[in-house]
Structure 1
Amino acid sequence: ALCFMIPFAWPALKRHGMPSKQEWIDSFVLGGLGMWICGAFVYYGGRSTSALNIGLMYALSPVLIALLSALWLKERFHLRQVLGVCLAFTGVIWIVTRGDLLAMSSMQWVEGDLWIAAAVLCWTAYSLLLRQRPSSRDPFARLSLITACGVVILIPLTWIESQLVPDWRISWEGLWLAVIAALLPGFGAYQAYSYMQAQLGAARTGVVLYLGPLYAGVMGWLLLEQSIAGFHLLGAALILPGIYLVTVRKAGA
């Protein structure tokens, strides 16, 4: 993702000059949280835990972001927005459990859940720090700097993993999938998230993450010929109004 970002971000990075010591520290902290823990830990956790557990725990992230934004960042969060969070959260739970809320009673907790829990907490911290530690750079240039710091952290860790994992090798298929991941979730999603943070604040932006299950359902229908079930529609009927209540601004605001 950094290879795609640098050519576009270089003019802005050059215009602002070298980052200050504090900005380097902030960028490495954010890079470690957002590019390392929030990325790698999910893959480690996914080896031993279920998609249901991952979905349910990640559904807590926007709630934590909204709550801590109000308590720590002093962002205003009205009753209307609390109602929106509750609606969207309920919609996500309905989709993740495929309309069977009793499925949560049969959940089994394993080691992978600890990896996912760490990723959820660190994504919450990333979202809050991104807002709490502002930068004079534009969002894209700042994200490029954070990504570069994340790459510096990941390079030695990747080498260590390559020595520990037997038969570790890079295939052409793996490279192609890595390019797609770099362009969409790496380049596109992080840039959109940073821009929304600057415009909406941490709490409102966090709740928009609840669109993820809806996008997954639509993409599965378009690309994988998976059917859209009734639980998808009911979940959407809860998520979309919930996000509207959280993100809409009052007239004159």
Structure 2
Amino acid sequence: VQTTRKALLRYGLISGSLVIFFWCMFLSLRYTSALNTSVLFTLVPGLSGMYAALIVRERLGRARLLALSIGLVGAIWVIFRGDVQELLSLTWNRGDSIFFVGCLAMGLYTPLVKMLHRGEPMEVMTFWVLVTGIVWLLPIGGFALTQITWSGVPASTWAWVFYLAVFSTVVSFYITQFAIPVIGPTRTMAYSYLYPGLVLVIEVILGHGWPELKVIPGICIIIVAMFVLQRTPMGKGSD
């Protein structure tokens, strides 16, 4: 797939935001919990909305701002399964600070795609975003590859690596980048509010039981927020 130096710079800026996020995420989990990072990640749609307003002049409007706030509440409700005491018991630590920096970077992702897309096929953009992402990652973690005993890596690990590489990365990024020019950066990133609810669905499918009734209000709040976000007309810079 041919490209130009200017295009590589565009793709490098986009992949840079993703690399910073994932690097911060994995580093932060050495010092904090997955629960804490889940809560912090709910800030990303709002951050994307603010960045989009500044970078691509997307008008959020009162309805969309309200929906983003409601979605934030709903997502946190589901994460904590309606347990207010568990929410209040959270403490800020070093890992949370690291992950928050990552969230600031991730918030730039969808606005940057909107700003830097030049009409090329999304397959091309996805390919070069992934390639430039590898270029960013090599100086950070390439040295560690020489320290791995590859023959000792179990087949199950390779299977999960394949899943993460194909579905969580290539397919996910392609769909996201395809959606951004169509529905806008804020709407696209707002779908991340659905993650906690989708996790509950997966748990049900895996036989872990249905969620408690006190979780249902959070799911309903998210559905309402998503409906408002998707029905609100797009402002300047989003069409």
Same fold (TM over 0.5): yes
Provide the secondary structure at the position in 2 that maps to 1:57: helix
Deviation for aligned residue 1:168: 11
Letter matched to residue 92 of structure 1: A
Letter matched to residue 106 of structure 2: W
Q: 1:56 to 1:158 in 2, by over 3 A?
A: same
Which residue number in structure 2 is paired with residue 7 of structure 1?
Answer: none
Letter matched to residue 121 of structure 2: D
Q: Within 5 Å, give how 1:105-120 maps onto structure 2.
A: 105-120=88-103
Which residue number in structure 2 is paired with residue 25 of structure 1?
Answer: 9
Q: Distance in 1 between matches of 2:62 and 2:136?
A: 41
Q: Distance in 2 between matches of 1:59 and 1:69?
A: 17
Deviation for aligned residue 1:63: 0.8
Deviation for aligned residue 1:97: 2.0
Structure 1 residue ranges without an equivalent (≥5): 1-12
The alignment of Structure 1 onto Structure 2 pairs a total of residues equal to 234
Provide the secondary structure at the position in 2 that maps to 1:47: coil
| 1:121-177 Cα shifts (integer Å, max 9, x gaps) | 111122221111122311221011110111222234333234678999633221111
Structure 2 residue ranges without an equivalent (≥5): 234-238
Q: Is the 8 A contact 2:123 2:174 kept in 1?
A: yes
Letter matched to residue 79 of structure 1: R
Q: 1:166 to 1:226 in 2, by over 3 A?
A: farther
What TM-score, normalized to structure 2?
A: 0.88
What TM-score, normalized to structure 1?
A: 0.83
Q: Distance in 2 between matches of 1:244 and 1:101?
A: 26
Letter matched to residue 31 of structure 1: S
| 1:13-53 Cα shifts (integer Å, max 9, x gaps) | 4xxxx32222111212222221x222232122122212231
Q: Distance in 1 between matches of 2:141 and 2:82?
A: 39
Q: Distance in 1 between matches of 2:143 and 2:86?
A: 38
> Identity over aligned residues, as a percent?
19
Q: Distance in 2 between matches of 1:223 and 1:44?
A: 29
Which residue number in structure 2 is paired with residue 5 of structure 1?
Answer: none
Which residue number in structure 2 is paired with residue 8 of structure 1?
Answer: none
Q: Which range is displaced more, 94-103 or 153-162?
A: 153-162
Q: Is the 8 A contact 2:55 2:115 kept in 1?
A: no
Deviation for aligned residue 1:249: 4.8
Q: Distance in 2 between matches of 1:141 and 1:231?
A: 45
Which residue number in structure 2 is paired with residue 6 of structure 1?
Answer: none
How well do the aligned residues superpose, as a CA RMSD in angstroms?
Answer: 2.3
Q: 1:40 to 1:71 in 2, by over 3 A?
A: closer
Deviation for aligned residue 1:65: 0.9
Q: Distance in 2 between matches of 1:19 and 1:92?
A: 40
